[in-house]
Amino acid sequence: MNSSRSAFPASVLALLGALFASDLVAQDPPAPRDVRSELKDRMKARYPLLEQARDAGKIGETREGEVKLVKATYATDKADAKDPAKGTVGELVEAENKDRQALYVVLAKELKLTAAEVAKQNGLRNLDKAKPEHWIEVNAQWVQRKTIKPVGQEKK
């Protein structure tokens, strides 16, 4: 009799404990690796269209690690001429920059740097990877990659 009385509150407590525990787990932010893989999947899917727009001279890279429209009028162009459902070049640029900013924050946390520093490093990386005819924004002016001469300086 006594044992059944004492067992009841214990089971209620266990149930409440389980509920709180599951609630706490649900409120935890996703692990950085998950955020990274989600960002990577989206950016990987977007990459062929970005490269197409870059090759067409519609978008270029900034030294601050952002992608940007070379001319504002390109914003309304279809990102994929064969598939209008893929949106406009302007939407493509906006989505890419949103994901890049999120990536810079994640990497900055891991590397104990600022997001701006990571962004700048990606800007340099994109400059290095660009094709000669690709556009790069330097001092608020668009120039083609072939006119830029990098001066190397490395640090560990």
Partner 1 sequence: MLLCAGVPFAALVGGCLSHRVETAPIEIKPIHITMDINLRVQRELDEFFDFEKPAADPSATQPKERP
Q: Which residues are near partner 1 by CB under 8 A?
A: 36, 40, 43-44, 47, 51, 63, 103, 107, 110-111, 113, 117-118, 121-122, 124-125, 127-132, 138, 143, 145-156
Cβ 152 to partner 1, closest distance in Å? 5
Between 89 and 103, CB nearer to partner 1: 103
Instruction: Provide the 3-class DSSP secondary structure of residue 29.
Output: coil
Cβ 95 to partner 1, closest distance in Å? 16
CA 41, CA 46: separation in Å to the nearest integer? 9
* DSSP, residue by residue, 97-130: HHHHHHHHHHHHHHHTS-HHHHHHHHHHHHHHH-
Instruction: Provide the 3-class DSSP secondary structure of residue 67.
Output: strand
Backbone angles phi, psi at 128, to 5 degrees: -65, -35
Between 53 and 127, CB nearer to partner 1: 127
Cβ 71 to partner 1, closest distance in Å? 20
Cβ 132 to partner 1, closest distance in Å? 5
Dihedral in degrees, nearest 10, Cα atoms 52, 62, 70, 100:
50
Between 1 and 151, CB nearer to partner 1: 151
Between 16 and 64, CB nearer to partner 1: 64
CB atoms within 10 A of CB 99: 17
